[in-house]
């Protein structure tokens, strides 16, 4: 095997108990599944663009180019969010848990990434509350998402992040709840329908 040869771990999707599943690369294949399901559920007259970006982990490259081209009025990035509740992760590291609903990001990368605008937080939190969707809030010191690039595009785009609580991120055994996937899709669909009330 020569230097630069792509390799991957041969790991398959496995269903566990209580609609919990494990597999490689839920970060960010789960986001694509949520995006598709949200679009199926949303009933709106607004023009909605759904983008599956590339190279988020190595410079947010696809988010930069797509947001620049599309010039959205508002945006939601979908990503995974580090969930605790297992060895090696303490409460001080994350308060996010699986099976507790979507994660709405307040800020990431200790503010070096996205600091979600109050108008976006209000939109997402009120939508969740009005549709009885349990949600979690996240303030993280670690990584960032495509939202970091999107919100700085051109003169700025109000941007939020909906995260899927996921254990063991960036490993071949990422673990999440299909219930959380469903709730993320539901929150995004309802938020799309109500976007005109906020922006």
Give me the residue spans of the domains in the chain.
14-197
69 is annotated as an active-site residue:
no
Q: How many CB atoms lie within 10 A of CB 73?
A: 12
Rounded CA-CA distance 97/55 in Å is 27
The confidence score (pLDDT) of residue 81 equals 95
The confidence score (pLDDT) of residue 142 equals 81
Rounded CA-CA distance 79/31 in Å is 6
Phi/psi of residue 193, each to 5°? -65, -30
Dmax over CA atoms of the chain, in Å, equals 56
- Exposure string of 15-39, with b = 16+ CB inside 10 Å and e = fewer, is eeeeebbbbbebbbebbebbbebbe
- pLDDT by 10s per residue, the chain, length 199: 899 999 888 889 999 999 999 999 999 899 999 999 999 999 999 999 999 988 877 767 889 889 999 999 999 999 999 999 888 888 888 999 999 999 999 999 888 899 999 999 999 999 999 999 999 999 988 889 999 999 999 999 999 999 999 999 999 999 999 999 999 999 999 999 999 999 9
The confidence score (pLDDT) of residue 166 equals 96
Rounded CA-CA distance 55/63 in Å is 9
Element housing 19 (H / E): none
The confidence score (pLDDT) of residue 124 equals 99
85 close to 169: Cβ distance less than 8 angstroms: no
The single residue of 47, 56, 141, 186 carrying the catalytic annotation is 56
CATH fold of 14-197, please?
Aminopeptidase (3.40.630)
126 close to 160: Cβ distance less than 8 angstroms: no
The confidence score (pLDDT) of residue 10 equals 86
180 close to 165: Cβ distance less than 8 angstroms: yes
């Amino acid at each position: 095997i020569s230097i630069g040869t792509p390799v991957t771990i041969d790991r398959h999707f496995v269903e566990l108990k209580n609609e919990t599943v494990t597999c490689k690369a839920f970060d960010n294949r789960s986001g694509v599944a949520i995006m598709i399901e949200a679009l199926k559920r949303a009933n709106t007259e607004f023009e909605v663009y759904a983008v599956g970006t590339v190279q988020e982990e190595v410079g947010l490259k696809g988010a930069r180019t797509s947001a620049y081209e599309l010039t959205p009025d508002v945006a939601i990035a979908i990503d995974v969010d580090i969930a605790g509740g297992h060895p090696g992760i303490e409460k001080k590291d994350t308060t996010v848990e699986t099976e507790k609903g979507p994660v709405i990001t307040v800020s990431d990368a200790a503010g070096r990434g996205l600091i979600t605008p109050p108008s976006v937080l209000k939109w997402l939190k009120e939508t969740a509350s009005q549709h009885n969707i349990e949600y979690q809030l996240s303030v993280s010191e670690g990584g960032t998402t495509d939202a970091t690039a999107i919100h700085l595009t051109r003169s700025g785009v109000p941007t939020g992040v909906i995260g899927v609580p996921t254990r063991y991120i960036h490993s071949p055994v990422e673990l999440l709840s299909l219930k959380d996937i469903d709730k993320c899709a539901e929150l995004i669909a309802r938020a799309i329908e109500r976007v005109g009330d906020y922006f």
